[in-house]
Structure 1
Amino acid sequence: MVLIKPFEWMDKYEIIPDVLNISETCAASISIDDLVGLCEDPNIPPPLSTSTKLTYGSIRGSNPLRERLASLYSARQPSPLPKEGILITPGAIAANFLAFYTLIKPGDHVICTYPTYQQLYDVPASLGADVSLWKLRAERDYIPDIRDLKELVNDKTSLIIINNPNNPTGATIPKPVLQDLVDFAKERNITILSDEVYRPLFTGMSPADPKFPPSLINMGYENTIVTGSMSKAYSLAGIRVGWIASRSSTLIEAIAAARDYTTISVSQLDDSVASYALSGSVLHSLLGRNIKLAKTNLEILERFVDKHRGTISWVKPNAGTTALLKFMKRRGEKVDDVAMCIDVLEKTKVMLVPAGKCFGSEFGGMVRVGYVCETSVLEEALGKLGIWIGEHLERCATID
């Protein structure tokens, strides 16, 4: 039996009625009607047809969906990615799992940036890998240090895992660091998996910036796998569509073979909605809406942090949907993040994620905020959190 740590926090508390959820990592979700309203061409039919026969559909994903995703990775590239380099999965969580299931065997050594989404290091460990954590530090703005990677690698290292932009820090690995990573891995023939579910929600840098990170699939190294999803940056978590992209046909075919043992295909309905959302008439409006929402809400969160400076500190995120906030009492004691999150939830219905519990003890005293919810929800939640800080923070338990 495979032993794996449970996802305790979200499953337990997210179901509370009327919760003000600023722990969510998706850009504020939209309906099919909202999606159709974003379409710039009124002549394009809506994505769902009641006359469609509900067969298994396209096993690897429909041609329109794979072609549209391939085009996202082909923009301004001398070598376009063919649709055969895309494999559609039920969400990025399945994409990551399939890649791990295919690539990892007992005794392998895997390196994963940390903190990050729990799946990215716990699933490799459950498959028998020895996992080393490539730790991100606040004093480096949560940018990984290649010197640390060199200390972790050994002759059994088969896979390096990154998450760019990063959950929970909202930090981005800049292009020069990505290039150093690619050069390092290529020299040793180590495969890299880059979880890019928060791409392209960039709030603090533009594509004109020389440090702006391209997708890792376009960094000139074939042994690279990229995973993505319609859930985070595209506001469509409910359709459960993710993907694997790679320029290596060997990697894609191996993962496709493993996929036959887990899922036959993604629902035709989900595929249709994703294809519609990624069409030229919808994509730019959808991403424009979400990038504007992220920038607006980040400014609101920054004003909140500034107002409570001395109590709250952070490294301001420049991408994605999440931020880590560190809470301290007046005398400098770190607040017990679990006790704080429970007390805030009970007294205000505001839901946060305790980073010490969900990402590791070294992040004790910190909470993760998912700030790309509806602006009205963020404003109400931060208003209530501010009142809680004034009335209850000094009485909250502390940790060493």
Structure 2
Amino acid sequence: MVKIEPFAVEQWMDTYETTPGVLNIAETCAASVSIADLAALAVPTVIDGTTVIPSADPLSALATTRLTYGAIRGSSTLRKQVAALFDAGKDENVTPLPADNVIITQGAIAANFLLFYTLLGPGDHAVCVYPTYQQLYDVPKSLGAEVSLWMLKKEDQYVPDVTELEGLVRPNTKLIIINNPNNPMGIPIPRHVLEDIIRFAQQRGIFILSDEVYLPLAHGGTRAPNPDQDEVGMFGEASHSSLQTSTPPPTPPPPSILTLGYDKVIATGSMSKAFALAGLRLGWVASRDPAMIKALLAARDYTTICVSQLDDGMARYALSDAVRQPLLRRNIELARRNIRHLARFVRKWENKGRVRCDWISPTAGTTAFVQFSTVCDDEVVRPIDDVEFCLEVLGTTQVLMVPGSRCFGHGERFRGYVRIGYVNETAVLIEALSKLDRYLENNLA
């Protein structure tokens, strides 16, 4: 029997996200959209001088599709669209990613698994950033590989320190695994750090996997333009004056690792997080190394063969010129609006009564990692029991969060931390933070 650790965050969500009346700020996807929502977002496009009006019913094009297995690699149109996503922001001297270097999968979780299944086994070693999505280090272990954790540190703003790689790699290191932007931190890896990681790996012939499911949602955090300049937050602070004055502009979002000139890189992504379509269960894996693509396809023959034609068709519609930009704009504006509500909440509780609240404010993705502590009678600041805290808050207020120590720290690290997903519907976030605020006032302050 394969030995694999329980997937803590998925088991937590499976247990509690169906709580009646739940206010789910544990969710990591941008607020989900329907097929009707996609059609409403679509705008006319101009092709060869002709204005094309997109279909108001994207399902109609699929109604007559015979439901065979479909294209094994994914439809050519969808693979071209995904390749274009990876090319966004690339330098002029970088060759466009060929569509043949993209494989469509059942979500990014299948894409990651396929890469591990293809590349790693007993006798191999990998280095993985930590904390991150548990799949990225525990699946390699289940396949017999050894994994060294590359710790992200608060003093480094949760950006990986490349100088530490020398002490982590071994002669049998095959893969360096990064998650960009990071889950749960919501912090992207800057371009210059990505370039340093590539230089390090290139000198040693090591592959790099970059899980980029959140990369299209680089919103800039509270330094980015505010979609609601005149908004006043629920904690009484005006958005523009309290969160934008005297702050420098956001740094440019990092490019995909596929644009930085090293062939032995693999990137994965999906429709779930930044594109708000987790229900499609559609993702992708891409590499500039033709041999890697060939190996992934050979391994894929033993797993899922292909994706649903219906999912492929809906993804094509969502990534079309008519829909892609309006959909991303909607989700980025949602992130920029909501991060301000969360920032005001954290600011209020940074040092209030016995409560201490701390974080590194995220600038990308959908999640924040927030630590709650209390000042004890001996004046010592101690992290709360995050598992007990999350369960009591859920039972009292119906607000669902993810405990950091259980779901990211294996019960040993990240005590007092909770992961909050803030790119849900704004009304849900406001209600959840308001109830959490009252809970703190009544029970901890």
- Structure-1-length-normalised TM-score: 0.96
**Contact 1:203/1:318, CA 8 A, preserved across alignment:** yes
Q: For each residue in 1:297-318, what CA deviation from the matched residue of structure 2 results, as whole angstroms up to 9, or x when unmatched?
A: 0011000001111221100011
* Structural mapping, 1:1-150, within 5 Å: 1-7=1-7, 8-41=11-44, 43-45=53-55, 46-48=57-59, 49-75=62-88, 76=90, 77=92, 78-150=94-166
* Structural mapping, 1:285-296, within 5 Å: 285-296=326-337
Q: Quote the offset at 1:73 in angstroms.
A: 2.2
**Contact 2:87/2:256, CA 8 A, preserved across alignment:** no
SS at match of 2:365: coil
Instruction: Work out whether 1:346 is the aligned partner of 2:395.
Output: yes
* Structural mapping, 1:129-278, within 5 Å: 129-204=145-220, 212-278=253-319
Give, in whole Å, the separation in 2 of the partners of 1:312 and 1:264: 47
Give, in whole Å, the separation in 2 of the partners of 1:43 and 1:325: 45
Instruction: Work out whether 1:368 is the aligned partner of 2:419.
Output: yes
Q: Quote the offset at 1:369 in angstroms.
A: 0.2
Q: Quote the offset at 1:250 in angstroms.
A: 0.5
Q: Quote the offset at 1:330 in angstroms.
A: 2.8
Q: Quote the offset at 1:17 in angstroms.
A: 1.8
Q: Quote the offset at 1:43 in angstroms.
A: 2.4
Give, in whole Å, the separation in 2 of the partners of 1:116 and 1:24: 15
Q: For each residue in 1:362-396, what CA deviation from the matched residue of structure 2 results, as whole angstroms up to 9, or x when unmatched?
A: 201100000000000000000000011111236xx
Q: Quote the offset at 1:12 in angstroms.
A: 1.0
Q: Quote the offset at 1:53 in angstroms.
A: 1.3
Give, in whole Å, the separation in 2 of the partners of 1:20 and 1:391: 19
Q: CA, structure 1 residues 348+209, in 2 after alignment: closer, same or farther (shift >3 Å)?
A: closer
Q: Specify the alignment match of 2:48 in structure 1.
A: none
Instruction: Work out whether 1:316 is the aligned partner of 2:316.
Output: no
Amino acid corresponding to residue 443 of structure 2 in structure 1: H
Q: Quote the offset at 1:128 in angstroms.
A: 0.5
Q: Specify the alignment match of 1:397 in structure 2.
A: none
Give, in whole Å, the separation in 1 of the partners of 2:73 and 2:26: 33
Amino acid corresponding to residue 174 of structure 1 in structure 2: P
Q: Specify the alignment match of 1:306 in structure 2.
A: 347
Amino acid corresponding to residue 229 of structure 1 in structure 2: S
Give, in whole Å, the separation in 2 of the partners of 1:47 and 1:259: 29
SS at match of 1:23: coil
Point out the more displaced range, 31-40 or 330-339: 330-339
**Contact 1:312/1:328, CA 8 A, preserved across alignment:** yes
Q: Quote the offset at 1:200 in angstroms.
A: 1.2
Give, in whole Å, the separation in 2 of the partners of 1:369 and 1:51: 42
Amino acid corresponding to residue 350 of structure 1 in structure 2: V
**Contact 2:218/2:253, CA 8 A, preserved across alignment:** no
Amino acid corresponding to residue 5 of structure 2 in structure 1: K
SS at match of 1:329: strand
Amino acid corresponding to residue 53 of structure 2 in structure 1: N
Q: For each residue in 1:80-114, what CA deviation from the matched residue of structure 2 results, as whole angstroms up to 9, or x when unmatched?
A: 11110100000000000000000001011100000
- Aligned residues, how many? 393
Q: Quote the offset at 1:160 in angstroms.
A: 0.3
Q: Quote the offset at 1:47 in angstroms.
A: 2.5
**Contact 2:359/2:370, CA 8 A, preserved across alignment:** yes
Point out the more displaced range, 303-312 or 348-357: 303-312
Give, in whole Å, the separation in 2 of the partners of 1:14 and 1:106: 36
Give, in whole Å, the separation in 2 of the partners of 1:164 and 1:275: 24
Q: For each residue in 1:139-164, what CA deviation from the matched residue of structure 2 results, as whole angstroms up to 9, or x when unmatched?
A: 11100001111110110100000000
Q: Quote the offset at 1:261 in angstroms.
A: 0.6
Give, in whole Å, the separation in 2 of the partners of 1:367 and 1:267: 35
Give, in whole Å, the separation in 2 of the partners of 1:62 and 1:211: 32
**Contact 2:122/2:143, CA 8 A, preserved across alignment:** yes
CA RMSD, 1 decimal:
1.4
Q: Quote the offset at 1:211 in angstroms.
A: 5.9
SS at match of 2:117: helix
Q: Specify the alignment match of 2:407 in structure 1.
A: 358
Amino acid corresponding to residue 4 of structure 1 in structure 2: I
**Contact 2:43/2:53, CA 8 A, preserved across alignment:** no
Q: Quote the offset at 1:357 in angstroms.
A: 0.5
Q: For each residue in 1:246-299, what CA deviation from the matched residue of structure 2 results, as whole angstroms up to 9, or x when unmatched?
A: 111110110011011111211011001100010111111000000000010001
Q: Specify the alignment match of 1:393 in structure 2.
A: 444
SS at match of 1:262: coil
SS at match of 1:113: strand
**Contact 1:106/1:128, CA 8 A, preserved across alignment:** yes
**Contact 1:175/1:210, CA 8 A, preserved across alignment:** no
Give, in whole Å, the separation in 2 of the partners of 1:392 and 1:219: 50
Q: Which 5+ residue runs of structure 1 have no aligned equivalent?
A: 395-400
Q: For each residue in 1:174-193, what CA deviation from the matched residue of structure 2 results, as whole angstroms up to 9, or x when unmatched?
A: 11111110000000000000
Give, in whole Å, the separation in 1 of the partners of 2:158 and 2:129: 10
**Contact 2:267/2:286, CA 8 A, preserved across alignment:** yes
Q: Specify the alignment match of 1:337 in structure 2.
A: 386
Q: Which 5+ residue runs of structure 2 have no aligned equivalent?
A: 45-51, 225-248
